[in-house]
Amino acid sequence: MPDKTFFITTPIYYANDVPHIGHAYCSIGADVQARYQRACGREVFFLTGLDAHGQKMDKASKEKGYASPGMLVDEVKGRWLEAWKTLDITNDDFILTTEERHKRAARKFFSAVQAAGFIEKRSYKGNYCVHEETFWPETQLLQPGGLCPDCKRPTQVMEETNYFFKQSALADALRAHLKAHPEFVQPDARRNELLGSYLDAEDGVTDISITRQSLKWGIGVPGDDGQVIYVWFDALINYMTAAGYGSDEPADKARFAKWWPADVHLIGKDILRFHALLWPAMLMANRDAEHPLGQALPKRVYGTGLIMNEGVKMSKSLGNAIDPFEWARDYGVDVLRYYLLREVAFGYDGSISKAGIEKRFNTELANDWGNLLSRSVAMTEKFFAAVTPAAAPQPGDALEAAGRAFAPAYLAAMDGMSYHDALEAVFALIRAANKYVDDKAPWKLAKDPSCAGELAGTMNHLLEALRIAGLALAPFMPAAAERSLEQLGYAPGEVFAGRGALRGRPLAEALAWGGLEPGRKVKKGEPLFMRKEFS
Minimum distance, C-beta of residue 287 to ligand MSP, in the bound complex (Å): 22
Q: Which of 129, 306, 472, 477 binds ligand MSP (CB under 6 A)?
A: 306
- Residue (57 or 372) nearer to ligand MSP, CB: 57
Minimum distance, C-beta of residue 509 to ligand MSP, in the bound complex (Å): 33
Q: Name which of residues 209 to 268 contact ligand MSP (CB under 6 A).
A: 235-236, 238, 267-268
Q: Total binding residues for ligand MSP by CB under 6 A?
A: 22
Residue 122 burial (10 A CB sphere; 0-12, 13-18, 19+): exposed
- DSSP secondary structure of 263-299: SEEEEEGGGHHIIIIIHHHHHHH---SS-TT-SPPPS
Stretch that binds ligand MSP, among 23-31, 35-43, 366-374, 465-473 (CB under 6 A): 23-31
> Is 459:442 a contact under the CB 8 Å cutoff?
yes
Minimum distance, C-beta of residue 488 to ligand MSP, in the bound complex (Å): 35
271 binds ligand MSP, rule: CB under 6 A: yes
Stretch that binds ligand MSP, among 287-295, 301-309, 332-340, 409-417 (CB under 6 A): 301-309
Report the distance separating Cα 230 and Cα 215, nearest Å: 9
Stretch that binds ligand MSP, among 120-128, 305-313, 443-451, 467-475 (CB under 6 A): 305-313
Count of other CB atoms within 10 angstroms of residue 374: 17
How far, in Å, are 138, 151, 175, 243, 400 from residue 92 at the CA level? 42, 32, 33, 11, 38
468 binds ligand MSP, rule: CB under 6 A: no
Give the amino acid at 305: G
Count of other CB atoms within 10 angstroms of residue 139: 9
Q: Which of 7, 13, 369, 529 binds ligand MSP (CB under 6 A)?
A: 13
- Secondary structure E strands in 391-477: none
Q: Which of 314, 391, 437, 469 binds ligand MSP (CB under 6 A)?
A: 314
Count of other CB atoms within 10 angstroms of residue 237: 26
Minimum distance, C-beta of residue 193 to ligand MSP, in the bound complex (Å): 15
Beta strands 5-14 and 43-51, pairing class: parallel
- SS3 category, 122: strand
User: Among candidates 293, 301, 248, 228, which has minimal Cα distance to 271?
Assistant: 301
- Residue (88 or 270) nearer to ligand MSP, CB: 270
Minimum distance, C-beta of residue 181 to ligand MSP, in the bound complex (Å): 21
26 binds ligand MSP, rule: CB under 6 A: yes
Stretch that binds ligand MSP, among 84-92, 311-319, 354-362, 441-449 (CB under 6 A): 311-319
- Residue (148 or 469) nearer to ligand MSP, CB: 148
- Enclosing H/E stretch for 5: strand 5-14
Report the distance separating Cα 455 and Cα 383, nearest Å: 9
Count of other CB atoms within 10 angstroms of residue 214: 11
344 binds ligand MSP, rule: CB under 6 A: no
* DSSP annotation of 323: P
352 binds ligand MSP, rule: CB under 6 A: no
Q: Which of 37, 48, 315, 458 binds ligand MSP (CB under 6 A)?
A: 315
418 binds ligand MSP, rule: CB under 6 A: no
23 binds ligand MSP, rule: CB under 6 A: yes
Binding residues vs ligand MSP (CB under 6 A): 11-14, 22-23, 25-26, 51, 235-236, 238, 267-268, 270-271, 304, 306-307, 313-315
